Each structure stands twice: as C-alpha cells, then as structure tokens.
A = this chain, B = another copy of it.
C-alpha cells in the first residue's frame, strides 16, 4: 500500500513503478472504486473507467459498502474511494503483488484486516515543495490548496504507523526504493509478535 499527501506524486511514481521491468513477482495496481468523476490526466487525456478507477455512483458505492465488498473505503474531498476486496484476493492468490494507492486513514484499516500488508508512506522532500507541486497542477483554487496543505500536515502525523517512508524527490529513486521494499519483503521472516 502506498499512501501520501495529495500531489506528492503517487500516480507518477506508481506509473513508473508499474512500467519498470519486472523483478521477480508480478506487480499490478489495484483499480480503486470511486464516486468522484473522471478528471484529466497529467499526461493528457481523461481517466478511464476500469483502468484508472472504477467510477461508480454514490448509490452503487453505498451498495458495495453494505455488501462488504470493499476492503476499506474513505472519504476525501467530498468523494469516496474504496478497495474491491475480491479483486485483491484473486490477484494475491495468483501470486501477484497488488499495489494499493489509498488514503492515509484507509491504510490503517487495511493494515488491521490484512496482517501481511506492507505500508509505504510517500512523502514530499518538504511541505514547501508539496505546495509548489499543488500549484503546478493548476486544478485547485487557492482555498482548495490551503485545505489540501492542512490535510497533508495531518496525514504526515500518521507516518509513524507506516512500515516505510519513501521520499519522492527524484521519481526514479523513489521507484527503486519501492522495488527494493517489495523484493526485501519477499525475504522477510514474519514473526507472530510484531504485527
């Protein structure tokens, strides 16, 4: 699971990670269900249903929650995001490492439900740099940026609950960090006592 403040570069890093040459275990990004509408992608074009997200109505999302079809879900900026439980379980059973990009609070819940989940916190080099990235994106108003920065400060408080912190200063280095974490975790000896 990769979490981190808005605009830290989660999509950029994960896209680079997934397009890098495979090393060992196959890797796939979880397609998250969301109630938010598709928006333009940084590289151009619009986000596609079933590829970037499962775009669902609030009513459909509500039904999925009622059917316990989501491993976790969280509200963020007036929209809901959830991880389809069956989708993840099927891939894990096939030996695929599933990458979840989820909000910070969602990460805490998945960690409780799935003891073998590995939590990576993607952090900006600094809050100042995060603000620059938010402004560069030009999708948010000043008020929205201020709210996102406040939110980011709170999210950084959760970092100590994560297993790893990766700084997204240079994307290739962040990608190599995550690849190393995946490889190392496959060697990791899990003990009963330490979660």
A residues sitting closer than 8 Å to B (CB atoms) are: 23, 120-121, 159-160, 162-166, 176-177, 179-185, 187-189, 191, 193-195
Chain B residues with CB under 8 A of A194: 193-195
Chain B residues with CB under 8 A of A189: 121, 159-160, 162-165
- CB pair A187–B183 under 8 Å, yes or no, is no
Q: How many copies of this kind of chain does the complex include?
A: 2
CA distance A184 to B194 in the complex (A): 18
Chain B residues with CB under 8 A of A166: 187
Question: Which residue on chain B has the smallest CB distance to residue A190?
Answer: B160
Chain B residues with CB under 8 A of A179: 180
Chain B nearest CB, measured from A179 CB (Å): 7
- CB pair A176–B183 under 8 Å, yes or no, is yes
CA distance A181 to B186 in the complex (A): 10
CA distance A195 to B194 in the complex (A): 8
Chain B nearest CB, measured from A121 CB (Å): 7
Q: Which of B163, B182, B183, B193 lies in contact with A188, CB distance below 8 A?
A: B163
CA distance A98 to B187 in the complex (A): 20
Chain B residues with CB under 8 A of A177: 183-184, 187
7 residue pairs from A and B, CB less than 8 Å apart:
A160-B191, A163-B189, A164-B187, A165-B187, A180-B181, A181-B187, A184-B185
Chain B residues with CB under 8 A of A165: 187, 189
CA distance A36 to B24 in the complex (A): 40
CA distance A166 to B24 in the complex (A): 14
CA distance A182 to B184 in the complex (A): 8
Chain B nearest CB, measured from A149 CB (Å): 23
